[in-house]
Amino acid sequence: MTKFFTALFLLIGIVSMQAQTLQSPDKNLTLTFSLTPNGVPVYELSYKNKPVIKTSNLGIETKDVPSFLEGFSMKDSKTSTFDETWQPVWGEQKDIRNHYNELAVTIEQKSVQNRHIIIKFRLFNDGLGFRYEFPEQPNLTYFVIKEEKTQFALAGNHKAFWLPGDFDTQEYSTVTSRLSEVRGKMKEAITPNASQFPFSPTGLQTPLMMKSEDGLYINIHEAALIDYACLSLELDDKTMVFNAFLTPDAQGNKGYLQAPTKTPWRTIVVSDDARNILASKLILNLNEPTKYEDVSWIKPVKYIGVWWEMITGKSSWAYTDLPSVKLGEIDYTKTKRNPKHAANTENVKNHIDFASKHGFDAVLVEGWNEGWEDWFGKSKDFVFDFVTPYPDFDVKYLNEYAASKNVKLMMHHETSGSVRNYERHMDKAYQFMVDNGYNSVKSGYVGNIIPRGEYHYGQWMVNHYLHAITKAAEYKIMVNAHEAIRPTGLSRTYPNLIGNESARGTEFESFGGNNPDHTTILPFTRLMGGPMDYTPGIFQTQIKEFNPDNTSFVHTTLAKQLALYVTMYSPLQMAADLPENYNKHLDAFQFIKDVAIDWDESYILEAEPGDYITIARKAKGKNEWFVGGITDENKRTATVDFSFLPKGKTFEAIVYGDAKNADYINNPQAYEIKKIKVTSKTKLKQNLATSGGFAISVK
Amino acid sequence: MTKFFTALFLLIGIVSMQAQTLQSPDKNLTLTFSLTPNGVPVYELSYKNKPVIKTSNLGIETKDVPSFLEGFSMKDSKTSTFDETWQPVWGEQKDIRNHYNELAVTIEQKSVQNRHIIIKFRLFNDGLGFRYEFPEQPNLTYFVIKEEKTQFALAGNHKAFWLPGDFDTQEYSTVTSRLSEVRGKMKEAITPNASQFPFSPTGLQTPLMMKSEDGLYINIHEAALIDYACLSLELDDKTMVFNAFLTPDAQGNKGYLQAPTKTPWRTIVVSDDARNILASKLILNLNEPTKYEDVSWIKPVKYIGVWWEMITGKSSWAYTDLPSVKLGEIDYTKTKRNPKHAANTENVKNHIDFASKHGFDAVLVEGWNEGWEDWFGKSKDFVFDFVTPYPDFDVKYLNEYAASKNVKLMMHHETSGSVRNYERHMDKAYQFMVDNGYNSVKSGYVGNIIPRGEYHYGQWMVNHYLHAITKAAEYKIMVNAHEAIRPTGLSRTYPNLIGNESARGTEFESFGGNNPDHTTILPFTRLMGGPMDYTPGIFQTQIKEFNPDNTSFVHTTLAKQLALYVTMYSPLQMAADLPENYNKHLDAFQFIKDVAIDWDESYILEAEPGDYITIARKAKGKNEWFVGGITDENKRTATVDFSFLPKGKTFEAIVYGDAKNADYINNPQAYEIKKIKVTSKTKLKQNLATSGGFAISVK
Helix (H) or strand (E) holding B47: strand B41-47
Position B312: which residue type?
Answer: T
Whole-angstrom CA distances from B177 to A663, B202, B234, B518 are 84, 13, 16, 14
Which of A483, A644, A634, A620 lies closest to A560, judged by CA?
A: A634
pLDDT in the model for residue B64: 87
Q: How far apart are CA B190 and CA B164, in angstroms?
A: 6
Of B256, B420, B463, which is closest to A379 when you measure between CB atoms? B256
Q: Which residues in chain A are contacts of B141 at CB distance < 8 A?
A: 323-324, 374, 378
Average pLDDT of chain A is: 96
Q: What is the mean pLDDT of residues A295-302?
A: 98
Q: Is B178 on the interface with A (CB under 8 A)?
A: no
Angle at the Cα of B30 from the Cα atoms of B77 and B76, rounded to 5 degrees: 5
pLDDT in the model for residue B257: 98
Contact A467 B141 (CB under 8 A): no
Contact A250 B381 (CB under 8 A): no
| pLDDT tens digits, A374-392 | 999 999 999 999 999 999 9
Rg (CA), chain A: 26
Q: What is the mean pLDDT of residues A598-607?
A: 98
Bigger pLDDT: A5 or B687?
Answer: B687
Q: Which residues in chain A are contacts of B371 at CB distance < 8 A?
A: none
Q: How confident is the model at residue A64 (pLDDT cuts 50, 70, 90)?
A: confident
Burial class of residue B76, CB neighbours in 10 A (0-12, 13-18, 19+): exposed
Q: Alpha carbon B659 to chain centroid distance?
A: 32
What region, left, alpha or beta, does residue A485 occupy, with left being phi > 0 and alpha being psi -120 to 50 degrees? Answer: beta
Whether pLDDT at A8 is above 60: no
Whether pLDDT at A121 is above 60: yes
Q: Please tell me which residue in A234, A507, A509, A606 is annotated as part of the active site.
A: A507
Q: Which residues in chain A are contacts of B197 at CB distance < 8 A?
A: none
Residue B355: which residues within 8 A CB-CB, separation 6 or more?
B303, B304, B361, B362, B363, B405, B407
pLDDT in the model for residue B12: 38
Contact B379 A451 (CB under 8 A): no
Q: What is the mean pLDDT of residues A506-521?
A: 97
Q: How far apart are CA B491 and CA B385, in angstroms?
A: 27
Which residue in B has a C-alpha nearest to residue A326's C-alpha? B258
Q: Which residues in chain B are contacts of A467 at CB distance < 8 A?
A: 424
Which of B280, B249, B285, B215 lies closest to B147, judged by CA?
A: B249
Distance from CA of B251 to the nearest CA of A (A): 6
Contact B258 A324 (CB under 8 A): yes
Whole-angstrom CA distances from B285 to B207, B483, B489, B498, B551 are 16, 25, 8, 17, 44
Q: Is A374 on the interface with B (CB under 8 A)?
A: yes
pTM: 0.96
| pLDDT tens digits, A314-340 | 999 999 999 999 999 999 999 999 999
Q: Is A381 on the interface with B (CB under 8 A)?
A: yes
Q: Is B423 on the interface with A (CB under 8 A)?
A: yes
In this structure, are residues A135 and A104 in contact, taking their beta carbons and an 8 Å threshold? no
| pLDDT tens digits, B595-626 | 999 999 999 999 999 999 999 999 999 999 99
Q: How far apart are CA B534 and CA B471, in angstroms?
A: 25
Sites in chain B below the pLDDT cut of 70:
1-17
Q: Is B385 on the interface with A (CB under 8 A)?
A: no
Contact A463 B423 (CB under 8 A): no
Alpha-carbon torsion angle B361, B363, B364, B366, nearest 10: -170
| Peptide bond before residue B66 is cis, with ω within 30 degrees of 0 | no
| pLDDT tens digits, A188-215 | 999 999 999 999 999 999 999 999 999 9
Q: Please tell me which residue in B92, B507, B509, B606 is annotated as part of the active site.
A: B507
Which of A70, A44, A40 lies closest to A56, judged by CA?
A: A44
Contact B250 A451 (CB under 8 A): yes
* Residue B454 annotated as catalytic: no
Distance from CA of B60 to the nearest CA of A (A): 19
| CA max distance for chain B | 86
In this structure, are residues A165 and A245 in contact, taking their beta carbons and an 8 Å threshold? yes
Whole-angstrom CA distances from B413 to A28, B326, B366, B653 are 57, 18, 8, 40
Q: How confident is the model at residue A249 (pLDDT cuts 50, 70, 90)?
A: very high
Q: Which residues in chain B are contacts of A323 at CB distance < 8 A?
A: 138, 141
Which of B360, B451, B346 lies closest to B401, judged by CA?
A: B346
CB pairs under 8 A between A and B: 74
Q: Is B256 on the interface with A (CB under 8 A)?
A: yes
Q: Is A467 on the interface with B (CB under 8 A)?
A: yes
Q: Is A251 on the interface with B (CB under 8 A)?
A: yes
Q: How far apart are CA B495 and CA B469, in angstroms?
A: 9
Q: How far apart are CA B663 and CA B633, in angstroms?
A: 9
Residue B625: which residues within 8 A CB-CB, separation 6 or more?
B616, B617, B618, B619, B644, B645, B651, B696, B697, B698
Which residue in A has a C-alpha nearest to residue B420's C-alpha? A420
Of A259, A326, A454, which is closest to B451 when you measure between CB atoms? A454
Q: Which residues in chain B are contacts of A451 at CB distance < 8 A?
A: 250, 451, 454, 460
pLDDT in the model for residue B11: 40
Q: How confident is the model at residue A2 (pLDDT cuts 50, 70, 90)?
A: very low
Whether pLDDT at A603 is above 80: yes
| pLDDT tens digits, A222-235 | 999 999 999 999 99
Distance from CA of B378 to the nearest CA of A (A): 7
pLDDT in the model for residue A439: 98
Which residue in A has a C-alpha nearest to residue B377's C-alpha? A142
pLDDT in the model for residue A3: 41
Contact A378 B258 (CB under 8 A): yes
Contact A378 B142 (CB under 8 A): yes
Whole-angstrom CA distances from A65 to A254, A256, A257, B50, B670 are 14, 12, 12, 59, 52
pLDDT in the model for residue B445: 98
pLDDT in the model for residue B17: 52
| CA max distance for chain A | 86
Per-residue burial over B510-527, b if 16 or more Cβ lie within 10 Å, else e, is bbebbbbbbbbbbbbbbb
Contact A452 B380 (CB under 8 A): no
Whole-angstrom CA distances from B648 to B304, B643, B651, B681, B699 are 38, 11, 10, 9, 14
Angle at the Cα of A120 from the Cα atoms of A119 and A124, rounded to 5 degrees: 145
In this structure, are residues A460 and A453 in contact, taking their beta carbons and an 8 Å threshold? no
Q: What is the mean pLDDT of residues A554-580?
A: 98
Q: Is B64 on the interface with A (CB under 8 A)?
A: no
